[in-house]
Structure 1
Amino acid sequence: MNKMPIPPKIPHRFFRWYCHPDYREDIEGDLLERFERNARGKGIKAANWRFFKDVMRLFRPGIIRPVKENIQLNYFGMLSNNLKTAFRIFKFEKFFTAINVIGLTVGIWCSILITLWVQYEFDFDRFHRKGDQLFRVWKNDILENKKVKTMPLTAYPIGDALVEEIPEILNRVRCSEVEPLVLSMQDRFVKQDVMATDPNFFQIFSFPLKEGNAESCLQDLSSIVISESLAKNHFNSESALGKIISIHEGPHSFDFKVTGVFYDIPENSSLQFDAILPVDNYLQFWTYPERWGNSWLFTYVILDKSADMQEINNKIKELPKRKGDADWFTLMLQPYADQYLYSRIENGQVSGGRIDYVVMFSLIAVFTLLIACFNFINLTTARSARRSREIGIRKVTGAHKGILIAQFLTESALLVFTSMITAILLTQISLPFFNEITAKTIAIDYFDTNFYLFLLLIAAITLLLSGIYPAVFLASFHAVSALKGKLKKSSARVLLRRGLVTFQFGLAVTLIAATLVVFLQLTYIQNKDLGLDKENIIYMPMDFKTAPHYQSIKSELLEHTSIHGVSASDGDFRSTLGTSSDPKWKNKDSSGKLKKNFAILDIDFGLLELLDIKIEQGRSFSSDFSTDSMHFVINEEAAEVMDLEHPVGEDLEFWGVRGKIVGVTKNFHFASLHERIAPIILRCKPTSSTLLYIKTKPGKTAQAISHLEKIHNKFSDVPFVYHFLDETLEQGYQGEMATQKLAGYFSLLAIVISCLGLLGLASYSAEQRTKELAIRKVMGAGAVNIIRLLLNEYFLLILIGFAIGLPVAYHWSNTWLNSFAYKVQLGWWIFAVPGVFVLSIALLTVGKLSLKTAQINPANSLKNE
């Protein structure tokens, strides 16, 4: 039997496109009959050619359809109908609608919170007008093991040398470290953060002045520029210009005249200070301040707009050797705006910093939103059979694919809009709690158009991800198959659904594993033996009035029953102390090519005993030895660096003092656990100690603080300030602690969303298999068999998700832990626990539903068959 000849497709489609709908059926019938006759009589090639000529002859006025048809579409009516249908569907399927809304709400809520935080982090230090030209100078110390230790402090002459030697460097400004100093104004004493800088500071940094001239306010050495808050608190409504402020440093007192008032520094600035002095005032307090090896300032430079940072780095690298005969360190630049996010520099290369947390939480935001969208896709496509007859009837009654897509997109848009409004309300409610965790002051600016553009973007992305595919998928059903309810199962769609479930739980395992690693590391930090006792230790900065009476204060404090011991030092054990490579000892390499840096700490008698720092060799400082002010105690690391097998009794000399090593302490941590314990030299200098240490008796801390305040007020009218050593040490890990909490909360939310989706899928799967399960029960299957049957599929998917998430979690954990010199070991159980936890939660979610399904009477399921 000969097959019916088929006309050429392109001419045939062209005819259908241009022909008027009223004539199309009759004319097309004639064309096809003519084509069949020609094909039988003249052959298929001739018939094709004749068909093409006939189609082109018919392309003329009267047959071509009008360009604009007189059809007035009632778009409002269509939208109204779509909305009514959507609400009807939501009412009919309350359970699945609730799952979708909750999942999308949580996903959008997480995304909004994290995006606000990320934007806050990225805004740091980016408000300066010359920000794209502003760079920070770093110093790379070359150590004896040929490694590089990058330090932010530089020497006084470096800034001027950079401007003189490098034409692309247009200007420089030097800033001291910010110090809390005692200021007196109108017989009132306050402690404020003070910084010293060059006169051109306000011309380089964009900190606008409320009063004074930015170009001249720091020209005079006796000038001081203060913050708006400081001026308002002490001079009320009067102008602060011309007022005298005294600064007290040790036994010295200096008078300064207010020459400017700057607006309060914004929170998103790395530089935070209350007052500024000319930096040359500090020269008198430093020994050899202009030496290239004496680093005590931060140096910032302005580059020409056309300059390339890498080229400048190559030019300045050897500048210290060329200009200052200093071959033990090199220089490098870093964009000023990057210093906050990229603060970790290892071996002379930027290796991360807060940007690691920004990236991590950005990924959490994206993945959490993806999980919510995937839930929506899974539930919508999985429940497609329920709506098949509705779709079939719509198609039979004339609804084309575009109308159906519009209907399903309307439903998705309503869910996204509802979720968006709910997420914004949750964000507003949770922001105070979020700010408390992150130590930020993030707020939603409802008058900022960028905020609404961001919400629109989130809504568009969510709608695109969660709405487009289900809408196109549902609208693509064949009308006849849809009416019969016999939709062809697609292995690709089943694979997609399983893949999305696997991805969700893989991500959940990754988040929980990462959170567990952070928790274990912080627990390790908090419980690690630091080599000193931090419990019941209070320290208090001594001001210019209390410092001269240190011995009297110490005697009075020791008489109180709540106080166990009192001593002093010039360091707070929170950050790396000042370092020096000047110490000289027997057999030291005299070439100067290998630098050995030592931390220096001045202490009083009894501090080692007060902090329970153990003596490994020799003895501690003792008032029984009148010459101990000339001698030294070192730690084990220093003894190892000096290559001294028996260091006690060996000569040690630096900074013009020659003495002997009288003791070696066991290594103790006097800096962050991010860094290895450095070699330290302790000097007995009671008169140079600035911090008073008090050890209280257990349970009597409140009484000790009360007595301490009483003694302080007896000698000084400067405000009383004290700190707990254990809290101070923990402050160095606030970023990690915030990360742990946030990651934990977001991990929990990710699991909630995943389990909601799994609950919906399992519920639908059980509903679809009701009759199959009933027949199995009639044939003898027990409840355990039914539960196992329903659990098997999801059990495998979650195991695959665990296998995918495990290497991701391991890689991130390793990378993050590498920023710590002292860290926990990654055991297999650290990653097994999250897998078991997620698997248990998921199986409990499905298992409860499976048990309920297994208990249904099979007669009720089969009675309609």
Structure 2
Amino acid sequence: MLSHYIKVSFRELLKYRTQSVVSIIGLAIGFTAFILGGYWLWWETHFDNFHPEADRLYCLTTEGLVKRANGTNSDLDQLHVDDRKELFQLLPEIEASCSFNHLSFTLKQKDETISLHGMESDHSFFDLFWADFIAGTYKGKSPDGSNVILTERTARKLFGTTDCVGKEVALDEDLRPVVAGVIRNYPDNTDLLFDFLLIRSPRPNHVKRMTTYVRLQKNASIIQVHTKLARYKSRADKKWKIHLLTAPEVHLRCHPELTDRIRNIHILALAGAMAFLSALINLLVLFIGQQQRKQQKNRTYLCVGASTKSMMLKGCTELVLPLLIAFLIAFCLIESIYPYYESYTTWNRYGIYEDVSRHLSRVSLFGNMISIAGTSILAFLLVCYYPIRSLLEHKIQKPVLFKRSLIVVQIFIGSLFFITSLGLFRQLHFILSKDKGIDYSQVIQVDLGFSTAYQTDLSVLKPEMANHPYVKGVTFTCGNAPVFTEQGDWYGSFYTHFCFDPAEPDPNRSDPVLVADKDFFSFFGLQLQSGSWLTDANAYGFLVNETCLQTLGYADLFERSVYNPENKQASPLKVCGVIHDYMYAPMQYPVLPLFFTTFDNPMVKGFEPAYLFYIRYAPGHKKEVLEHLREVTSHIQNDNINRNKMFTELSDLVDTFNRPEKVIFTIFSILSLVCILISTFGIYSLVSLSTEQRRKEIAIRKVNGATFYHILQLFFREYFLLVTLGNAFALPVGYLLAKRWLETYANHTTLPAWLFLLVFIITSGIVLLSIFQQVKRAAATNPAEVIKTE
């Protein structure tokens, strides 16, 4: 019987092939986006949940040291030693604790250079965190740094095997611990990134902070703990706030660079879910239309002895078959785009772990896909059970109202996608077209490395780099001061404090200073707003950008000297000019108030070495200039710099910054188009059904003198109300969502009123086109034939 129902279902799919294809494709694309976005979101929100008793594992973090792109405070997963002592006395709920610090070493093994990142901690680490020993043990080992635990990956990298207990690891000349054990690699969704664990009592870093995790007692009230922390004043700095974060929260709140990533993940998951829901509704609309066309046939089945159970099985088969086909297509889609998905979702940390990439698990992704596919089929059948039964037994009291409600939901989803996509497009166009205030065309960035700069004066390479017929100019900056940076919350060579008034209103203000070559400003075409450029005559001079001038608030800034904040004595330091702002980071970051000076300034001379060079080449001659630069820098030996990444074109760097917006816009455009098509075919299907059921009414109206346009107007008025109702909900919700998304950018476009009117006009036009053909076909039928057959 089931095989017979499957054959019947296939015939129905072929009979209504256009609607079926659109519905199946919509289901496949929506489910694909939902799975990829949903799994990505799950992965990002379940970091370090694999540790034993993870529900009681927390990290003591500090707020007030790091900021997100939108200016709000982020958390730092470190705790000052003074606060650590006080908090352990304040919180008797703490059952166990562990502190550790990060370490980094570069090892040379034969002709290979190996970078190792690790941590130092005592035995308490193994009391709180997961450690599956393959060989050896930590027990009985003194926490004096003479023993080390390696991960399986590191053991194979250093020794080619995990059977290396007792062997020595030369981390540096003075630190040569013996391997005490080897543990299995941690999953990629962890913030505890280490190649080795040095068994040594952790020592605070240079700012007296360490990462500290605690496990609370089983009966501890987390609300009371948070209340105590809210009242606590940091012993290190009264402005700091101490928080207690779960392990997954550490990942989300202690990495400000993830803010935009998490936002885009939510967009992808929500968009996929809505597209999938729209396709499911369309499938149900198509099914209802088919069943109403087969009312007479279904009555015949029931009259000849078919049970309600068998009819339900037949109906469920017709519903499930398109879903199964769609899931199969979705599986193929995910398999084909997985390499790109893996590349796009890879998380690269900053700092000493910048070269460590974290990847989503392929096995877990497909396992989740299968389980969610099965769950969604079951949930869909449960939700549809009553409508299907009522339809087969002809018990739906108001079928027209039910069908219209489904159409309104589809129009709501389609219009919501439409207006949101237009908002995304406007912001993307704004990002790509807005003048950044700096000329970065045909410019190559050469990164010669931090460590090299402290060993050699690299500024002497400038004339040699410029000695090429296709090189139009060369300049350089120093560390933490690239022309473009992906992390706009920290920009400048160093931070200091400039006091322009002995009665300083903001003595704790930190002023970022960018140290650059004297040709930096002319090389990049920066514009002077007021004052004068830096020259040899004002060696102690500084430039500021417009934002800095506004932030300081001094109209007479050029006349003011910089005072020593301790003795209130004027120094020779002065601001001599203001330059227009330029955008050095992605648009979600605001432009910071910046000070600029050159390497000739005696205040910074010899303080910050140069190692970021910028070379402008003649159009069409990039290849020749790159070969020249490789030759000039061939003698540079820097173990920390990958020579393939030494040379970066600035335009490529800007494109990398814009990549997330481009991807999200592309995905949204596809999903929006799918949802609009689904809504269109849903309306088309219902109009087709409605015209078939109202053929006699149309015939009588024609006999009484109604024209085609009168009949078209009758149908259009009915569906125009549905469009109006769907848009009445979709447009305000779309405005709120798009507005909230745009506000995550410090620099963003606006949403004009005509955009919403355009969406309404286009959706109304789509409905008119959808009903035009069906009404025309019904109106063209001979009324006498219709009345005779009815």
Runs of 5+ unmatched residues, structure 2:
348-358
Distance 2:298 2:218 in 1: 62
Match of 1:646 in 2: 556
The amino acid that maps onto 2:433 is N
Match of 2:351 in 1: none
Work out whether residues 242 and 257 of structure 1, in 8 Å CA contact, stay in contact via their aligned partners in 2: yes
The amino acid that maps onto 1:370 is L
Distance 1:457 1:828 in 2: 41
After superposition, residues 507-526 of structure 1 pair within 5 angstroms as 507-526=413-432
Match of 2:170 in 1: 244
Instruction: Answer with 1 or 2: which has the greater Rg.
Output: 1
Work out whether residues 587 and 746 of structure 2, in 8 Å CA contact, stay in contact via their aligned partners in 1: yes
Work out whether residues 99 and 757 of structure 1, in 8 Å CA contact, stay in contact via their aligned partners in 2: no
User: 1:581-640: per-residue Cα shift (whole Å, max 9, x none)?
Assistant: 862513255687x74232344434333333333344444555x36x84x65443343344
The amino acid that maps onto 1:333 is L
Q: How far does residue 135 in structure 1 lie from its aligned partner after superposition?
A: 1.8
Work out whether residues 340 and 354 of structure 1, in 8 Å CA contact, stay in contact via their aligned partners in 2: no
Within the alignment, does 1:611 sit opposite 2:524 as a pair? yes
Within the alignment, does 1:585 sit opposite 2:499 as a pair? yes
Q: How far does residue 826 in structure 1 lie from its aligned partner after superposition?
A: 2.1
Work out whether residues 532 and 613 of structure 1, in 8 Å CA contact, stay in contact via their aligned partners in 2: yes
SS at match of 1:469: helix
Selected match of 1:377 from 278, 281, 284: 284
After superposition, residues 219-258 of structure 1 pair within 5 angstroms as 219=143, 229=153, 232=156, 236=160, 241-245=167-171
Distance 2:693 2:377 in 1: 32
CA spacing shift, 1:667–1:450, aligned 2, 3 Å: closer
Work out whether residues 101 and 418 of structure 1, in 8 Å CA contact, stay in contact via their aligned partners in 2: yes
Distance 1:689 1:141 in 2: 26
Distance 1:837 1:217 in 2: 73
Within the alignment, does 1:119 sit opposite 2:25 as a pair? no
The amino acid that maps onto 1:552 is V
User: Which one scores higher on RCO, CA 8 angstroms, separation ≥ 6?
Assistant: 2
User: 1:647-677: per-residue Cα shift (whole Å, max 9, x none)?
Assistant: 2351254899965024343333445533433
Distance 2:146 2:225 in 1: 36
Distance 2:158 2:295 in 1: 76
CA spacing shift, 1:443–1:834, aligned 2, 3 Å: farther
Match of 2:311 in 1: 404
The amino acid that maps onto 1:598 is D
Work out whether residues 510 and 805 of structure 1, in 8 Å CA contact, stay in contact via their aligned partners in 2: yes
Q: How far does residue 761 in structure 1 lie from its aligned partner after superposition?
A: 1.7
CA spacing shift, 1:617–1:98, aligned 2, 3 Å: closer
Work out whether residues 519 and 740 of structure 1, in 8 Å CA contact, stay in contact via their aligned partners in 2: yes
The amino acid that maps onto 2:730 is G
Match of 1:755 in 2: 680
Distance 2:699 2:339 in 1: 52
Match of 2:474 in 1: 565
Work out whether residues 283 and 319 of structure 2, in 8 Å CA contact, stay in contact via their aligned partners in 1: no
CA spacing shift, 1:717–1:419, aligned 2, 3 Å: closer
CA spacing shift, 1:549–1:358, aligned 2, 3 Å: closer
Distance 2:530 2:319 in 1: 74
User: 1:150-209: per-residue Cα shift (whole Å, max 9, x none)?
Assistant: 452757535643554434444243545x98x8654335346x474665556953554767
Within the alignment, does 1:135 sit opposite 2:59 as a pair? yes
Distance 1:281 1:556 in 2: 47
Stretch deviating more after TM superposition (88-97 or 373-382):
88-97
Stretch deviating more after TM superposition (732-741 or 855-864):
855-864
After superposition, residues 261-410 of structure 1 pair within 5 angstroms as 266-270=187-191, 272=193, 289-290=207-208, 300-316=213-229, 321=234, 323-324=235-236, 326-341=237-252, 356-410=263-317
Match of 2:372 in 1: 454
SS at match of 1:315: helix
TM-score, scaled relative to structure 1: 0.73
SS at match of 2:284: helix
CA spacing shift, 1:793–1:451, aligned 2, 3 Å: same
Give the number of aligned pairs. Answer: 746
Q: How far does residue 456 in structure 1 lie from its aligned partner after superposition?
A: 1.9
Distance 2:705 2:320 in 1: 47
CA spacing shift, 1:496–1:713, aligned 2, 3 Å: same
Work out whether residues 313 and 333 of structure 1, in 8 Å CA contact, stay in contact via their aligned partners in 2: yes
Distance 1:265 1:757 in 2: 48
TM-score, scaled relative to structure 2: 0.80
Q: How far does residue 341 in structure 1 lie from its aligned partner after superposition?
A: 4.1
SS at match of 1:338: helix
Within the alignment, does 1:694 sit opposite 2:617 as a pair? no
SS at match of 1:544: helix
CA spacing shift, 1:90–1:452, aligned 2, 3 Å: closer
CA spacing shift, 1:231–1:405, aligned 2, 3 Å: closer
Selected match of 1:497 from 403, 406, 414: 403
Distance 1:537 1:374 in 2: 52
User: 1:291-324: per-residue Cα shift (whole Å, max 9, x none)?
Assistant: xxxxx86655554444444543443456555x33
Within the alignment, does 1:673 sit opposite 2:587 as a pair? yes
User: 1:23-47: per-residue Cα shift (whole Å, max 9, x none)?
Assistant: xxxxxxxxxxxxxxxxxxxxxxxxx
Distance 2:655 2:210 in 1: 27
Distance 1:384 1:333 in 2: 57
After superposition, residues 420-431 of structure 1 pair within 5 angstroms as 420-431=327-338
Within the alignment, does 1:157 sit opposite 2:84 as a pair? no
Q: How far does residue 337 in structure 1 lie from its aligned partner after superposition?
A: 0.7
Distance 1:224 1:691 in 2: 35
Match of 1:637 in 2: 547
Distance 2:695 2:534 in 1: 83
After superposition, residues 182-221 of structure 1 pair within 5 angstroms as 184-189=108-113, 192=115, 194=117, 198=121, 202-203=125-126, 204-206=128-130, 219=143
Runs of 5+ unmatched residues, structure 1:
1-77, 247-252, 291-295, 478-488
Q: How far does residue 813 in structure 1 lie from its aligned partner after superposition?
A: 1.5
CA spacing shift, 1:414–1:805, aligned 2, 3 Å: same
User: 1:730-752: per-residue Cα shift (whole Å, max 9, x none)?
Assistant: 54565444433332222222223
Q: How far does residue 416 in structure 1 lie from its aligned partner after superposition?
A: 3.7
CA spacing shift, 1:635–1:365, aligned 2, 3 Å: closer
SS at match of 1:714: coil
Work out whether residues 197 and 277 of structure 1, in 8 Å CA contact, stay in contact via their aligned partners in 2: yes
Stretch deviating more after TM superposition (834-843 or 275-284):
275-284
Q: How far does residue 450 in structure 1 lie from its aligned partner after superposition?
A: 5.9
The amino acid that maps onto 2:436 is L
After superposition, residues 724-803 of structure 1 pair within 5 angstroms as 724-729=649-654, 731-732=656-657, 734-770=659-695, 772-773=697-698, 784-803=709-728
CA spacing shift, 1:717–1:402, aligned 2, 3 Å: closer
Distance 2:263 2:35 in 1: 19
Distance 1:156 1:218 in 2: 25
Q: How far does residue 816 in structure 1 lie from its aligned partner after superposition?
A: 1.9
The amino acid that maps onto 1:138 is T
Distance 2:285 2:214 in 1: 55
Distance 1:840 1:254 in 2: 77
Work out whether residues 632 and 661 of structure 1, in 8 Å CA contact, stay in contact via their aligned partners in 2: yes
RMSD over equivalenced CA pairs, Å: 4.5
Work out whether residues 478 and 609 of structure 2, in 8 Å CA contact, stay in contact via their aligned partners in 1: yes
Work out whether residues 313 and 331 of structure 1, in 8 Å CA contact, stay in contact via their aligned partners in 2: no
SS at match of 2:363: coil
The amino acid that maps onto 2:188 is E
Work out whether residues 204 and 210 of structure 2, in 8 Å CA contact, stay in contact via their aligned partners in 1: no
